[in-house]
Chains A and B, each alone.
Chain A
C-alpha cells in the first residue's frame, strides 16, 4: 500500500502547508501584501515551543499556548512597526520591507540559537496506526485533523461573527469599510494575529514531524505555502487549504516516484502552471481593470 501511504504522508505535510497558506491568504486579502516574513513566524513558533518545553520545562499544553500567543503578538507587532507605515506605498516597498523583517527574524534566531539544528521535544508518542493497510504516524494524523479543525473554526469565525464580517468588509474595500465605522487598524491586527497563531501551530507540527528545527526552516516552507495560497486562489481560505493539500501530495509523489532533488522544482512548476493558466487560482475571482 505504498501509494496510499504516500497520499496520506502528502496530505499531512500538505496540512502543515495549508495552515501556513491560510496566514498568507488572510494577510494578502486584507493588507494586499505578500508577508514574506510569515515563514519566519513559523520558525519562531517552533522555537518558542522548543524553548518552553526543553529549557523552561513547562507542560506541553502551556508551551503550545505560549507559542501561539507569542507568534500572534509577533505578527501584530511586525505589522504595526514595519508594514503600517507603508500601508499606502507601492507593493515593491512593502515587499522589500517584509523581506527585511524575514532576514531580521532569521538572523536574530541564528544569533540566539546558532545555526546547528536543535532537537524538538517529543510532544506525542511515536508510532503508527494502520489504515487500509497504510502505515500512518500519529503526527501525520494529528496534522491532518488539526488542519481541518482550524480551517473549520476559522471559516465559522469569518462567516458567522461580527469581527469576521468586518474582516471580509476590509478585504473587499478598505476605504468603504472605514466609512462604515469599521476599525480598520484593529481588523488588520486581528488578521495578523490569527494568521500568525495558525503559523505557530504549523511550526509545532513541523517540529513534531521532522524532530529537528533550525533558524532556516521557515524560508522554503513559507514560499511553498505561499504557492499553495496562490494555487487555491489568494484571499480564499478553502482555497488555501485545498492548495496546501495538493502541494503536499504533489511533493510526496515527486519524492517517492521521481527524485527528491526535483521536489522543489515540481512545486514551483505547479505555481508557474497555475499562474499562466488560471492566475486567479482554483477558488479565486477574476479582476477586471476599469477603463
Chain B
C-alpha cells in the first residue's frame, strides 16, 4: 500500500484551474521532488495535501485514510508535516519553544496538572525538553535554544522550521523551497541534512525546489508540474532529457 496517493486532484479559484488532474503516488521512506516553472501550482499542491485548501475535485489517500474531510490540524496529527516557502516560525518565541509547539501531542499532561504542578507536569515538560534538544542537535541549533526564533540568521531559520515539522513525528515531510535564499555552501549543507533526516527518522520527503543541483542530486524521482498538471514523472536523468520538460522551462522553439 502506498503512503500517499493523490487521484485526479484539482482546485479552482474562480475560473482559474490552479491544479488540475494531479495524480501522484509515494511510498514510505522515498525522497521525491516536485518541480516546475513559477506559477505551475507546486505550493498549491502542498496546500491541498495539508488541508489548507479544500480540493474541488479528486481524492487524497494518506496511509489508507482519505484526507478530504480533515482539518490541517488532523492531517498534521495523522503524519504530514511541512515547511513554508516564506518561513513561518513563531518569531517571538524561543527556538526551543518553537520545537516544543511541534511536540505538543508527544505529551498529554492536563491543564489541571500544570496548575497544580503535579509530577506528571514536570515529567512531561522534562521529556519535551529532552526531545526538543535532541532535535535541535540534529540541526546544530542546540546553542541557540533560548534565542528568539526571529533573531536567527536566515539559513538557521529554515533549519528550525524543518526541526519544528519533524517534532510532530511525521511519516511524510513536505519541504517548500528549503534552499531558497541560500548560498551554494549552505545549499550543500542542506542537502546533507535532508539525507540525514530521511535516514534518521525513516520518513518520506517530498520537496519543491528551484535549485536543480539539489533536486537532481538527492531526489529519487521527480514530478514536473506545468499549468497545474503533471507534465512528466521519472528519475532525474529521465526528467533531464524529457523534451516536454525542456520545452516547458525554456519555451518551444518552432
Contact = CB atoms under 8 A, between A and B. Distances in A.
A and B from one assembly? yes
A291 B86 CA distance: 8
B208 to A, nearest CB: 13
Contacts of A291: 43, 47, 52, 84
A233 to B, nearest CB: 19
Interface in B63-104: 84
A291 B45 CA distance: 12
A290 to B, nearest CB: 9
Interface in A239-291: 291
A117 to B, nearest CB: 49
Contacts of B47: 291
A227 to B, nearest CB: 30
Interface in B41-60: 43, 47, 52
B91 to A, nearest CB: 14
A291 B42 CA distance: 12
Nearest to B84: A291
Interface in B112-137: none
A291 B53 CA distance: 10
A291 B43 CA distance: 8
Contacts of B52: 291
Contacts of B43: 291
Interface string B15-41: 000000000000000000000000000
A218 B43 CA distance: 49
Contacts of B84: 291
Nearest to A290: B86
B82 to A, nearest CB: 10
A291 B52 CA distance: 8
A287 to B, nearest CB: 13
B84 to A, nearest CB: 7
Nearest to B46: A291
Interface in A76-114: none
Nearest to A291: B52
A200 B47 CA distance: 49
A50 B236 CA distance: 81
A259 to B, nearest CB: 43
Nearest to A288: B13
A288 to B, nearest CB: 8
A176 to B, nearest CB: 19
A280 to B, nearest CB: 15
A32 B84 CA distance: 27
B42 to A, nearest CB: 13
A291 B47 CA distance: 8
A262 B46 CA distance: 50
B53 to A, nearest CB: 8
A289 to B, nearest CB: 9
Nearest to B13: A288
A291 B84 CA distance: 8
Nearest to A289: B52
Nearest to B47: A291
Interface in A7-31: none
Interface string A220-238: 0000000000000000000
Nearest to B50: A291
B54 to A, nearest CB: 12
A71 to B, nearest CB: 41
4 contacts: A291-B43, A291-B47, A291-B52, A291-B84
Interface of A: 291
Interface of B: 43, 47, 52, 84
Closest 4 CB pairs of A and B: A291-B52, A291-B47, A291-B84, A291-B43
